[in-house]
């Protein structure tokens, strides 16, 4: 469709806590007004963990980034937060290259993925919200984030580093790709969290206010030092409270409408005129 691929900003993995690394990818740079992060994470615990597996389109870079941090045969766990393509895009490839890894999913995830999940059931572990994953030197806690777009979603809290992997929560678009939300302007970042929350979880409309606040409390009560997620740059200690507060009020915010058919009409006209 596009004859020219815009240059894509390349970020080496960012260390966000001891032995914990955010692996960067993003979509939309140069082709859309904003770009959206598509991150994954590696925890070099006694038993190393890869958290989510990114987009298929980024497979070579994703695998190179992971293997720059941990040898394939040393990977003990591959944790999937939920069964969306931006989290499962390289699960089969990674599991094939990491012969000692066990895949942490749950029953419903493998049901929803069907034959697209090409990993032997002998290599699965089914863990749900509230469960614990012992990785040798720490016990990772599975805690569902307050914003999510799949019923299978579980976040992951590391009590040793106090990093919380939020899956699709705390996402926000970026004017230009950055590693850390500290490099974003504060107001657009917080407005981005509002927008992303409403787009990802339109069911917020249906939720009784107190129940939603208790869902946010579950993460706040972990007292995370750092928030990481697929669709946000690193959220460091100085910004965690802001991200949580923005999520609490996301439902009430006025956010831009999603582009509709009239926008697509304009896009198609422009593409047609260019040919
Ligand atoms: Fe998702
Ligand atoms: Fe996602």
Give the percent of the chain with pLDDT over 90.
94
Rounded to the nearest whole angstrom, what is the distance from the C-alpha of residue 273 to the centroid of ligand 2?
33
What pLDDT shows up at residue 275?
A: 74
Considering every ligand atom shown, identify the ligand nearest to the alpha carbon of residue 82 and give its number. 1
Paired tokens of 2 = 């596009």
Instruction: Give pLDDT tens digits for 49-93.
Output: 999 999 999 999 999 999 999 999 999 999 999 999 999 999 999
Neighbours of ion ligand 2 (CB under 5 A): 86, 168, 230
Backbone angles phi, psi at 50, to 5 degrees: -105, 130
Centroid of ligand 1 to alpha carbon of 149 (angstroms): 5
Q: pLDDT tens across 18-45, in order?
A: 999 999 999 999 888 889 999 999 999 9
Ligand closest to the CA atom of residue 165: 2
Q: For residue range 214-267, list pLDDT tens digits in order.
A: 999 999 999 999 999 999 999 999 999 999 999 999 999 999 999 999 999 999
Please write the tens of the pLDDT for every residue from 67-78. Answer: 999 999 999 999
């Amino acid at each position: 469709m596009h004859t020219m691929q815009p240059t894509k900003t390349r970020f080496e993995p960012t260390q966000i806590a001891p032995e914990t690394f955010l692996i960067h990818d993003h979509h939309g740079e140069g082709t859309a007004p904003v770009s959206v992060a598509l991150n994954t994470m590696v925890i070099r615990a006694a038993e190393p963990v890869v958290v989510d597996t990114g987009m298929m389109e980024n497979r070579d870079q994703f695998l190179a980034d992971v293997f720059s941090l941990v040898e394939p045969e040393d990977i003990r766990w591959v944790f999937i937060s939920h069964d969306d393509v931006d989290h499962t895009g390289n699960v089969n490839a990674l599991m094939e290259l990491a012969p000692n890894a066990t895949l942490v999913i749950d029953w419903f995830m493998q049901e929803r993925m069907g034959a697209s999940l090409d990993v032997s059931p002998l290599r699965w572990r089914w863990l749900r919200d509230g469960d614990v994953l012992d990785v040798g030197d720490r016990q990772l806690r599975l805690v569902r984030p307050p914003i999510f777009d799949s019923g299978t979603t579980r976040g992951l809290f590391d009590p040793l580093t106090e990093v919380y992997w939020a899956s699709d929560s705390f996402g926000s678009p970026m004017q230009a790709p950055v590693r850390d939300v500290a490099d974003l302007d504060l107001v657009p970042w917080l407005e981005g969290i509002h927008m992303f929350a409403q787009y990802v979880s339109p069911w917020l409309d249906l939720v009784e206010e107190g129940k939603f606040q208790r869902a946010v409390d579950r993460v706040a009560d972990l007292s995370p030092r750092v928030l990481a997620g697929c669709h946000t740059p690193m959220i460091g200690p100085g910004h965690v409270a802001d991200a949580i507060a923005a999520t609490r009020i996301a439902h009430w915010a006025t956010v831009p409408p999603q582009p509709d058919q009239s926008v697509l009409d304009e896009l198609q006209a422009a593409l047609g005129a260019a040919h």
